[in-house]
Structures are given as C-alpha cells and as structure tokens.
Amino acid sequence: MTLAAVDLTPKQGVVTVFSDIWCSFAHIAIHRLHATRKRLGLTDQVRFDLRAFPLELLNDAPSPRSGTDSEVGRMGQQEPEAGWQLWQEKEYLYPSTTLPALEAVIAAKSQSLEASEQLDLGLRKAFWAESRCVSNRKVIMDVAAATDVVDTAALAEALDDGRARSALSTDAEISATDRINCSPHLFLPDGTDHANPGIDVRWEGDYGVGWPVVTRDDPTVFEDLLKRAAN
C-alpha cells in the first residue's frame, strides 16, 4: 500500500491532527480543540492523535522568524487566549528546527494520547507565548516536566534511542502527499477531513514580507467536529 492510500480515519473518540508547532494556524486550532473539548465536557470522550506536518522538511528550509513574527499580531487577534508574543529572547535562541519537539510529541504517545496532547500544547505555548527555544532538548524536557502526565524518564529514554524518529519520517512522507493540505489538517472517525477548520486566509505580499489576511473565522466549527468524534 502506498502512503497516499494509507487510511487516516481514526477510531471513534479520536481526532487525528497533522500540524507543525511553528504554524500559527495550528496554534489556534489546537487551543480551540482543547478549550472546546473542556467546555463541552468531552475530555474523557475525545483524544487527539497528534501527527507531524514538518514544514522545514516540506519546504526544504527552516521557518523564518520574519514569517512567524508577521503572523503574531494578526493571528493573535483571532484567539488571544492561545498565548502570543513577538520573540523576546536573544536572536541565537530562536529555534532553527521543530523536529526534536515533534519527535518528542510522537514519542509521548507511547505513554498515552493525553501525555502527547499535554506536551504538544506546552511546547506550542513555550514557543508562541514564552519565546523559548523548543528545538533545545532541555526546554522540551522542562515543558514535559511541567505537565502532570508525562513520564519524563520514559520520554528521555525514547529520545535517546530515537524510537519515534521513523514515525516522524512517515508523517513527513504522508504530509508530502495530496492527502494533507496544510497545517493543521484534521481527520475524524466519520471519514471526513478538515483543513484549517473555521479559518479562511490569504496573504498580502510574500510570506515573511507581507502578512496574513483573515477573510473568515468561525471558532464554533470545533463544537461540531468534537461532538462527531466523541464516543
């Protein structure tokens, strides 16, 4: 079976999400998934299977700081509670890759989907809201330790032996097919998929030079998506 034919439909009670930590649209979507799930009382009925959409591999280059900076002010207006700030740390601490963080999120799934969810959410906040270098192992482990569900010793062991690296590579290969349109792209148990749900956007000028222009934003779509995924 080719990767383009792999069934991405999750089991009932799971939403599969392809995304990158560098992606502001994914930062919004992940925040809304968590917040809406909690508000609807579906925390025990829906879990998130987080898959990597590694932009640096798909674009053959790291994500430029000028690009993420251009997104903060505009996308932060759409969902302020997700947490945002322009990069505040030293220039050399700006992450040159998100692959170690994405690998850690995948590795944490061997503990539980909840562990993976909490690590992923913490790493997104660390980057977008706290200006922390999420490509650094100590930052990744500190974020893991700040959760109440990640076994940090087990995570360190998984990162040492690289057991999640092949899964990351597989996710990258799938992301390069036409099955995945963008970060974020959600897949539901009913067989439907939803790219960047609720948001339509265009760019004014080139990426890293111009800025995103949001033409539609409907956060209520996450209620329907989560209810359809729930056990």
pLDDT tens per residue, range 157-184: 999 999 999 999 999 999 999 999 999 9
CA angle 199/203/204 to nearest 5° reads 135
- What pLDDT was estimated at residue 2? 66
- What pLDDT was estimated at residue 6? 84
Segment holding 159, helix H or strand E: helix 152-161
- What pLDDT was estimated at residue 231? 83
pTM comes to 0.96
For 5, 30, 134, 142, the CA distances from 119, given in Å and listed in that order, are 30, 12, 11, 10
**66 vs 31: which has the higher pLDDT:** 31
Counting residues of the chain whose pLDDT is more than 70, the rounded percentage is 98
Nearest to 126 by CA among 95, 160, 167, 171: 95
- What pLDDT was estimated at residue 216? 96
- Three-state secondary structure call for residue 202: strand
| Average pLDDT value over all residues in the chain | 95
pLDDT category of residue 209 using cuts at 50, 70 and 90: confident
pLDDT category of residue 11 using cuts at 50, 70 and 90: very high
Counting residues of the chain whose pLDDT is more than 90, the rounded percentage is 89
186 neighbors 15 (Cβ within 8 angstroms): yes
Per-residue pLDDT, averaged over 44-67, amounts to: 94
Extract the tokens encoding 63.
Answer: 């994500």
- Which domains does the chain carry? 13-229 (3.40.30.10)
Residues 6+ apart with CB under 8 A from 150: 108, 111, 115, 118, 119, 144
**1 vs 41: which has the higher pLDDT:** 41
**63 vs 43: which has the higher pLDDT:** 43
- What pLDDT was estimated at residue 73? 86
CA quadruple 35, 39, 40, 46: dihedral positive or negative?
positive
State phi, psi for 82 to the nearest 5 degrees. Answer: -65, -25
pLDDT digits (tens, 9 = 90+) for 95-143: 999 999 999 999 999 999 999 999 999 999 999 999 999 999 999 999 9
